[in-house]
A and B are shown apart, each in its own frame.
Chain A
Amino acid sequence: SQQGEEDPQALSIQEGENATMNCSYKTSINNLQWYRQNSGRGLVHLILIRSNEREKHSGRLRVTLDTSKKSSSLLITASRAADTASYFCATDASSGDKLTFGTGTRLAVRP
């Protein structure tokens, strides 16, 4: 079964608005990562947050991690049409080194 579940499954916003997507997972983790996938392409790494970190920023991206609730959120500020893509969270469990992905959030940013 999937380790991570993203919410919402799909999100449509206007350019300039912020987009927030959430990820919940099941087991203890070493770190949590967010990836982006443009249609028909491979996944590209966006940001990694360690299990002992609570918040991390990278450009217009802000990631939070709450290990007590086993959840993370990805905030994209001042969205652009080019942010249109699917976004996935991925976790590597404390017991191993393999990455397990959620089902993803499809983000559409309207110009």
Chain B
Amino acid sequence: DAEITQSPRHKITETGRQVTLACHQTWNHNNMFWYRQDLGHGLRLIHYSYGVHDTNKGEVSDGYSVSRSNTEDLPLTLESAASSQTSVYFCASLGGLKTEAFFGQGTRLTVV
């Protein structure tokens, strides 16, 4: 069965370190998204991609970057981790207009 997986599921890192969160999907979807979820804010869009070599900024993109070298993967990099980036991160993929999104199980990141 097709799926979308995130790794790691939990990560603790120190302020200032570079961190990369992995997202891998086997749906062959062109559209992939990264969200962060914080209490009181719901899910906020960080970055998204509509296909290989395409990346776009979402509403909370500062301090984050993504790259899309193939259809299956969209890694999210925190260039220099800050305590404000402590959150739960979700990756999602979408087949296209009028279709449902599939979510990974999330990565809980703690920056100390």
Interface residues of A (CB under 8 A from B): 1-2, 30-31, 33, 35, 40-45, 48, 50, 88, 90, 92, 97-104
Contacts and interface: CB of A to CB of B under 8 A. Distances in A.
Interface stretch (B64-72, B74-82, B95-103): B95-103
- The listed residue with most B CB atoms (<10 A of its CB), out of A1, A97, A102, is A97
Contacts of B42: 2, 88, 101-104
Contacts of B94: 97, 99
A97 B96 contact: yes
Given A2-B42, A88-B42, A99 B98 contact: no
B101 A99 contact: yes
Contacts of A45: 100-102
B73 to A, nearest CB: 17
Interface of B: 31, 33, 35, 40-45, 48, 50, 56, 58-59, 90, 92, 94, 96-106
Contacts of A31: 97-98
Contacts of A2: 41-42, 44
A100 B98 contact: no
Contacts of B41: 2, 103
A88 B43 contact: yes
Contacts of A1: 59
Contacts of B43: 43, 88, 101
A100 B42 CA distance: 10
6 contacts: A35-B103, A50-B98, A88-B43, A98-B45, A100-B45, A101-B43
Given A98-B58, A103-B41, A42 B103 contact: yes
